[in-house]
Amino acid sequence: LPIDLSFEDLVREHQALVFRTLLRLTGSREHLDDLAQDVFLRLYRALPSFRGDALVTTYLYRIAVNVAQDEWKRRRRDAQSLVSISDETSGWEDRLQHPGRNAEELLEEHEFQQMVDSQLQRLSNIERAVLVLYHQEERTYEQIAAALGLPIGTVRTHLHRGRKKLREGIEAKRVERHAAAGKGAECTNRG
Amino acid sequence: MNPEDANDTLELRLTRALENKPEVTVPAGFAARVASQVPARRAVAISPARYGLLATRIGMAVLFLALFVVAMRASDRIAVTMEWVLCAELAGLAVWYGSFGSFSRQQ
């Protein structure tokens, strides 16, 4: 931690990273503020043992993953159903203004994004963490291994397995949808 | 579209969806709120290891003892010369030690 950087500066510098990582890991905007606050308070407590050769972001990712895992445990305890990661503040209507793409394409893309996000929540905590850190946060295998305290080979395995599960989940969902759409059309034809 | 192409397209879309960073709105004043919840940090007294200083002190003590030992046997010219050399070394160390002490206090 640079000496001239206050804790408030540090929070300000990394807050967006923590918010979006937590959002993807928990799949919900609910309690996001509280969780992010928890991450930074845990970081503060860990600062005395902070090693200069480690990046603050490595610590932050590790803590964010732990906080997200605790949140999942809490939800399981409360027996809450899975919450969709639907973007409440910037819906697909906003994205319709994007030039060069028609509304149908954007809607389809938005639905696909939702499907990926919901399937992501079905993965194990560790698979989800690896996928989010690798794809969304653009971390290297080494950085993920350092953040999660895993060997690099294990990170690779989780990444591969996580992607495979995601793909299978999406394909199953699509088949389900096509079947439902087929049934709907059949009923309409009969009617 | 053949199954291989469809698979590639799905992979591509999947990667794009995963790489898509969700938009987040950080509440205004979040950093200040978090910072206000942590206890004020106490000034940490940093006392770096000063092995050089320790070695100087030991050296001075050894020189001082050597001066006495040599003085007791100072019957020939070599012993007297040795006595002066040791004296000079002790004086040099004392000067260096004194200046180092005042320098470190300034910092």
- Give B76-92 pLDDT, tens digit per residue: 778 788 888 888 888 88
Amino acid A92 reads: W
Query: Rounded to an integer, what distance in angstroms lies between the CA atom of residue A56 and that of residue A48?
Result: 12
Contacts of B1 in chain A (CB under 8 A): none
Residue of A nearest to B39 (CA): A44
Supply the pTM of this predicted model. Answer: 0.63
Any residues with CB less than 8 A from the CB of B93 and at least 6 apart, and which?
B56, B59, B60, B63
- B14, B15, B27 ranked by CB distance to A170: nearest: B14
Query: Rounded to an integer, what distance in angstroms lies between the CA atom of residue B47 and that of residue A75?
Result: 47
Q: Is any Cβ of chain A less than 8 angstroms from the Cβ of B76?
A: no
pLDDT computed for residue A52 by the predictor: 61
Question: Which tokens in the block code for residue A54?
Answer: 């480690």
> Contact, A152 vs A141, CB < 8 A?
yes
> Contact, A114 vs A160, CB < 8 A?
no
Count of CA atoms in the C-beta half-sphere (13 A) of A185:
6
Task: List, for residues A79-93, the tens digit of each pLDDT value.
Answer: 555 545 554 544 444
Query: Rounded to an integer, what distance in angstroms lies between the CA atom of residue A18 and that of residue A35?
Result: 9
Provide, rounded to the nearest whole percent, the portion of chain A with pLDDT above 70. Answer: 79
The ipTM, to two decimals, is: 0.72
DSSP code, position A149: T
Residue of A nearest to B21 (CA): A136
The tens-digit pLDDT sequence of chain B (107 residues) is 677 777 788 889 999 999 988 888 899 999 999 999 887 765 444 455 566 777 888 888 888 888 878 777 767 778 788 888 888 888 888 888 777 655 554 44
CB contact under 8 A, B19 and A136: yes
CB contact under 8 A, A136 and B30: no
pLDDT computed for residue B93 by the predictor: 82
> Contact, A137 vs A17, CB < 8 A?
yes
Q: Residue A96: which pLDDT band, with cuts at 50, 70 and 90?
A: very low
